[in-house]
Amino acid sequence: MKLKILLLLSLLAVSCKKETKTEIETPKVLKDSTPISLKQTEIQEEDTIVISKKHQTNKILCDLDGDGLNETVEIVRGIKSNKSGLRIIFGNKKRTDYLGMGKDIVGQGFDEIDWAGIFEKAPKNEIYYNNVNEDGEIIGEEEVKEEDKIKLLNDGIFIHAEESCGGGIIYLNNGKYNWIQQE
């Protein structure tokens, strides 16, 4: 009799829907590219994450946080959301971040990256800048103020659409993700 009760309890425990409550820090970017960070608590059902088969290059290595260890950045897809995004596994294996997969990416108004045809490392010590002005016009480096140019202290992630020539660089600054627009 005890064995039957134990078996029944085991079946009930396995069949229950798993939910986890996590506190995550959601990065946001204001229009002037000043990062802010909002904490939110949400209930997330477990999801199955798979590596993107759509993207020819779906994995890069780069040191986003400057600790000398390469992060593994992969384009992945959430089965439940059916949307793509980035999984960032930090080199020390103590942290994994997800961007996209149905959640806004760095305050840019898109929640997946199926559009990205180019996915590569943006090397540190290079100078980058938003090359689109407030009117949506593409501008040259000579039109960008020196204080608006960004020298990456660590590597970044360059994602870009091949046909429409739109995209940008995601990088970490003081533990927060930021975006540099690259048309």
User: In this model, does residue 61 exceed pLDDT 90?
Assistant: yes
pLDDT value for 57: 79
Question: Is residue 71 one of the residues assigned to a domain?
Answer: yes
| pLDDT of amino acid 35 | 37
pLDDT number for residue 46: 64
Q: Where do we find the tokens 């800048």?
A: 129
Predicted pLDDT of residue 47: 67
Question: Two tokens at 57?
Answer: 């290059």
Give CA–CA dist 127/44, Å, rounded: 38
Number of domains in the chain: 1
Quickly state the pLDDT bin for 56 (edges 50, 70, 90): confident
Residue whose tokens read 């960004």: 150
- Separation between Cα atoms, residue 130 and residue 148, nearest integer Å: 8
Q: Which helix (H) or strand (E) holds 9?
A: helix 2-15
User: Which H/E stretch holds residue 15?
Assistant: helix 2-15
In a domain, 122, yes or no: yes
Phi and psi for 144 in degrees, rounded to 5? -100, 130
How far apart are alpha carbons 97 and 28 in whole angstroms?
A: 15
| pLDDT tens profile 117-174 | 899 999 999 999 998 888 888 888 889 999 999 999 999 999 999 777 689 999 999 9
Structure tokens at 150: 């960004």
Tokens of 101: 């997969």
Q: Is the residue at 8 inside a domain? A: no
Closest-CA residue to 47 (of 13, 87, 11): 87
- Cross-strand pairs, 97: 88
**Enclosing H/E stretch for 167:** strand 167-173
Does residue 14 form part of some domain? no
127 belongs to a structural domain: yes
The answer to whether residue 91 sits within a structural domain is yes
4-49 pLDDT tens trace: 333 333 333 333 333 333 333 333 333 333 333 333 323 244 668 8
How much is the pLDDT for 124?
Answer: 97
Q: Which residue segment(s) compose the domain that 137 sits in?
A: 20-182
Task: Report the C-alpha gap between 166 and 118 in whole angstroms.
Answer: 10
Higher pLDDT, 138 or 61: 61
pTM of the model: 0.71
With respect to residue 131, please indicate whether it lies within any of the assigned structural domains.
yes
Asked if residue 161 belongs to a domain, the reply is yes
In 10 A of CB 121, how many CB atoms?
Answer: 17
Q: Check residue 38 and give its pLDDT.
A: 31
